[in-house]
Amino acid sequence: MQSVLDGSNAWGDRRATAQELHATLGRLALRHRVPGAQLAVLRDGETVMVQTGVEHQDRGEPMSAASAVPAGSITKVATATVVMALVADDDLELDQPVGEVMGTPGLVDSLTPRRLLSHTGGLPSDPADATGGCLREVRNAVPVCPAGTAFSYSNLGYALAGSVIEAVTGMTWREAVEAIVLRPSKIEPVYAGSARSVPGHARATGPSEARPVEQVLPAMLEPAGALALSARDLVELGRIHLGKPGLLDVVTAADMHQPVPEADPFGLADGWGLGIACFGEGDDRWLGHDGTADGTSCHLRIDQAGACVVACTANSVAGTDLWHDLVGELRELGVDLPAPSFGTAGARPVPVPDGDCGTYRNGAIDYTVRAEGDGAALVVDGEVYPELELSDDATFTVRDPATGRATPCGRFRGAPGAATAVEIGGRLARRC
C-alpha cells in the first residue's frame, strides 16, 4: 500500500491520521477482495490521500494517487455544474423549455434544465436504443410520470442536458466540461475506457480473483457517466461546492444545493438538488453522489458546514460493500458521514399481496414481482432476485445473488394489494 499526504499527517484529537486511513482502506479492500482502491479526505484545507492494491488484477501495476477510475454517475455532478455555470453567466434559464433553448421542435415544454438536473423530468432511466440520437429517444420515450411530479433517475435526461450544453456553448460536451469545470479545477481529463483509465473488475467468486471487465458506454450517455477520476480529482470536484470562487456565484450554488420538493430519491439519498444528492438532514446534511461504471464503484461526499470532502474509488463492483463498511469506520475516526437510510424504523414484515405481483416498466426495463414458493421474487430483465421480503411501510428487500445477503431494494407505490408503481434504485416503474 502507498499513501500521499498534502499538509499535515494528522488533524488532532479524533481526526484520522494518514496511517489510520491507510490501514483502514487496505483492510477493507482485502475483506471485500477489491483489487484497488483510493481514499481522499479534505478537512480544514488539508488533503490526505491513500491508496491500496493494483490497477489491474492480472498486471500488477500499483494504484497510484493519479490512477483514474471510471466514476460512472458522478460525471453528472460535473455536467450539472457546467449547466449551473451557464445559468450563473445568464446564458441559460433553469425553467426555460429545453426545446426553446435548443431551437428544436417536438419536445414537450415541461422538460426544463431544472427538471433534467433533479431527475423530475419524467423520462425513463435509459434510451431504448443507445445507438440512436438523443432527441429521437426523448421524443419517443414513454414518460414514467408527469414532469415535475416525482423523482425518477434518468441517464437519458442527462444525455439531453449534455445536448443543451452543446447548443448553448457551441462546444461538444467533452470540450465544455473540460473548459468550464475540469481544467479550472486542475483535473486532468480522462474518460472511461481510454488507455489512461483503470479497468473495472467483476466480483471475485470462491477462490478466483476478480475478473477485469471492459467499459461499455454509448456516446449518447457520456454526459451521464463518461469521466474517470482519482479520489483526489473527486475532492477537487467537491471543492467547487464548498464555495470555490470563479465557477458558481453564491445564489446559483444555493439553488443547486437546495433539495427539490418533488424529488424524493428513495433508496438513493435523502433528497436531491440540481445534479447533486443530499444525505442526512439539517446541520448534518452532506452533499454528494455515487457512481458505478462497468466493474467500478465511486463515492463523493461534501460537508459544506465542516468544509470537508470525502472521496473513495474502487475498481470492483464490491467497492460498494467496501464503501458501506468504510462509512462506519470513518465515523470512528472522526469523519462523521451520514448513515444511509432505508424504510421506516420499526417496520414489520408482511406477506406480499397477490395484487402487487405483476410487471412494472421503466422505458425498456421490466421489473416483475412474482410469487415464488411461500414468498415472492423480483425479476429484472431475466435476472432473478429471490426472497423478496415486504414490510408494512411498503419497502422491500431481496437476496443479492452475488453475496447471499438481504439487500434494501425498493418500495411499492399505491395502496397495499393495488400497487400502481414500484421504485427500485431510484427508478420509478409504472404498472403495465
**Torsion sign (Cα): 100, 101, 103, 109:** negative
The predicted structure's pLDDT at residue 306: 86
Q: Which domains does the chain have, with CATH numbers?
A: 2-67+196-204+226-332 (3.40.710.10), 349-431 (2.40.128)
Cα gap 250→173, rounded to integer Å: 25
Non-local (6+) Cβ contacts of 136 within 8 A are: none
The predicted structure's pLDDT at residue 299: 98
Q: Is the pLDDT of residue 2 over 70?
A: no
Percentage of residues in the chain having pLDDT higher than 90: 81
Model pLDDT for residues 263-287, shown as the tens digit of each residue: 999 999 999 999 999 999 877 899 9
> Are residues 287 and 301 in contact, defined by beta-carbon separation less than 8 angstroms?
yes
Model pLDDT for residues 298-326, shown as the tens digit of each residue: 999 999 888 899 999 999 999 999 999 99
The predicted structure's pLDDT at residue 123: 98
**DSSP 8-state assignment for residue 104:** -
Q: Is the pLDDT of residue 13 over 60?
A: no
Q: Is the pLDDT of residue 383 over 50?
A: yes
Model pLDDT for residues 89-105, shown as the tens digit of each residue: 999 999 999 999 999 98
Cα gap 170→370, rounded to integer Å: 49
